[in-house]
Amino acid sequence: MTLELHATPQEVMRAVEALQAFGQASQVPDKAIFGLALALEECGSNIVNHALRGDPQQIFRVTLEYTGSAMVIELRDRGPEFDPTQAPVSEKEAEADDRPPGGWGIQLVRRYMDEICYAREAGENVLRLTKRLAQAASQATRQE
């Protein structure tokens, strides 16, 4: 499923709702859908606010793919080149008040996704987020 979205917060939420419906229809566990939705909202918001500067005339694309063993979200935008995978990993020991602002979103995405891949292709930022479902299902079983 591919969505072409305008650079607005409402369109980000439309993508999140589409992901939730797609995941439920594909019988993806709710816990995995929750993490995927958080990651999509964070990355989509960053595209809207930073890459496309909130210009509703700008378009970005979100592709959702279910492989049976994984859910993949691909986000594409024509903003300035930016590789979020190069953001430093936060130190958990640091006090929240001592941490510099920014960078929290990628930490959230790292927590919920199994793979985060970035590429620059034909003038576009391409971010692929993968959640392996066998792992999500085994984690859910262990927690019950």
Instruction: Tell me the pLDDT band of 29, cut-offs 50, 70 and 90.
Output: very high
Which ranges of 1-144 does DSSP label H, i.e. alpha helix?
A: 9-25, 30-46, 104-112, 133-143
pLDDT digits (tens, 9 = 90+) for 100-114: 445 678 888 999 999
Strand 124-132 and strand 115-121: the pairing is: antiparallel
Instruction: Tell me the pLDDT band of 80, cut-offs 50, 70 and 90.
Output: very high
Q: Is the pTM of this model over 0.95?
A: no
Is 103 in contact with 88 (CB distance < 8 Å)?
A: yes
Residue 66 has pLDDT above 70, yes or no: yes
Strand 2-6 and strand 59-66: the pairing is: antiparallel
**DSSP one-letter code for 89:** P
Residue 15 has pLDDT above 60, yes or no: yes
Is 40 in contact with 96 (CB distance < 8 Å)?
A: no
Residue 89 has pLDDT above 90, yes or no: no
Instruction: Tell me the pLDDT band of 92, cut-offs 50, 70 and 90.
Output: low
Residues in contact with 30: Cβ distance below 8 Å, sequence separation at least 6, in sequence order = none
State the pLDDT at residue 135: 53
**Homologous superfamily of domain range 2-143:** Histidine kinase-like ATPase, C-terminal domain (3.30.565.10)
Mean per-residue pLDDT for 78-92?
A: 83
